[in-house]
A and B are shown apart, each in its own frame.
Chain A
Amino acid sequence: MLLPSVPVTRFTAVRLASLGTKVRAAEADIPYAGSASRATLVIVGADMSSTIGAEETFCVATQPLADVNGSASYLGWGWLSISVPNLIVILVMILLFVLAIVLPFPKDRQNR
Chain B
Amino acid sequence: MIVRWKHLIIGAVLLPVIGLLVGWSGLIGVGASSGHWAVTDWFLHWVMRNSVRTAAISVDAPPLDDPALLPHAAGHYETGCAICHGSPTQPRSEAVLAMLPVPPDLKMVVPTWTDEELFQIVQHGVRFTGMPAWPTEVRPDEVWAMVAFLRELPEMSAERYHEVSGLHPPPMEGEVSPLPITCESCHSERKLSASSLIPSLAGQSEAYLLESLRAYSEGERPSGIMEVAAGTLPEAALPDLARYYARQQRPQRPPLPADQALLDKGRMLAERGRPGEKVPACLSCHEKAGANPVYPKLSGQSRPYLERQLNLFKQGVRGGTSYSHLMTEAARKLTDEDIAAAAAYFAQRRVPSMP
Answer whether A and B are interacting partners: no
Name A residues whose Cβ lies closer than 8 Å to a Cβ of B. Answer: none
